[in-house]
A = this chain, B = another copy of it.
Amino acid sequence: MGKKGSLMSVRSDVRVFDATIRDGGLVNDFKFDDDFVKDLYNANVAAGVDYMEFGYKADKDIFDRSDFGKWKFCEEDDIREIVGDNDTDLKISVMADVGRTNLKRDIVPKSESVIDMVRVASYINTIPAAIEMAEYCHKLGYETSVNIMAISNANESDLKQAMELIAQSNVNCAYIVDSYGSVYPERMREIADTYLEGMEECGKLVGIHAHNNQQLAFANTIEALSRGVSYLDATVSSLGRGAGNCPMELLLAFLQNPKYNLPPLLKFIEKHIPLLKEEGTVWGYDIQYLLTGRFNQHPRQAIEFTKNGRKDYSRFYSELLDKE
């Protein structure tokens, strides 16, 4: 694989994908005010963002409606209350987790829906189930992706097999998901090349969703882009689980395509992000996340450390080592 484009060029395959509500929902149990979501929608439209993900299509038999805000479930009417018929260029996405979704009950045909894309989140060992879910959505008329989480734990032969399965399917896009924020740019370029080799021949695109445990989410995103990755996930002010994601403001400032426009998002940030922090919502890079990222572990212990207001990083380091 070679480099695609340069720091000066515009690539028409690029799609900027806002995952703020969906990944940020993992921090506050999806309890966003309508005002927040509506303002973000308007900011994304004005900023030229290509996709906005509203949340999950979670199964209400598994998750109690009263424990979560509405974006855990993304009902058609709730989305329409924000976007109307979405008469804009911004496409709307929802995420469906393998094993936690009842698509046959909860998804209507695309012709009746304001949703454009369904992204199926899967670990490498449940790819066949993920493809089945994506095929179901494809038949209903949706764009689809399969998002392979915890990519830092996938071995190369499994990953190549996953690429073959996706290549034979109707899935539109295969996503790299660095859930643990473990991957260094040098390795990220290799992973991107493996995906691109698997997808290019069949005309499918590749996406990246990075986490910021080691302050590498933006770097990994633009390095993957430079190899040929097209779908670029980001969240406003990094809002997302644990250390958060690639900051949308860095990504939009970087991209050369004049369709992207930073000021509407800066205005959104000014209005909403300080409030969210004052209310006690905590996310973003800190040493506990660096450590779980470096040790290639799920961030759950670091999230617990954060919730408990702990700052004894050196003890946490020992705790992680004990577990290894």
Contact = CB atoms under 8 A, between A and B. Distances in A.
Contacts of A226: 186
A294 B253 contact: yes
| Size bracket of the A interface | 35 or more
A223 interface: yes
A295 to B, nearest CB: 9
A311 B313 CA distance: 30
Q: Tell me if A's interface is mostly helix, strand, loop or mixed.
A: helix
Interface string A137-160: 000000000000000000000000
A314 B266 contact: yes
A36 interface: no
Interface string A242-283: 000001011001100000001100110110001000000000
Interface in A43-101: none
Interface stretch (A104-112, A123-131, A210-218): A210-218
A261 to B, nearest CB: 11
B254 A312 contact: no
Given A262-B317, A287-B249, A313-B266, A186 B7 contact: yes
A291 interface: yes
A254 B269 CA distance: 32
B219 A312 contact: no
Contact of A311 (B185, B216, B217, B270): B270
Contacts of A267: 314
A184 B219 CA distance: 8
Interface of A: 3, 6-7, 184-187, 212, 214-220, 222-223, 226, 247, 249-250, 253-254, 262-263, 266-267, 269-270, 274, 287, 290-291, 294, 311-314, 317-318
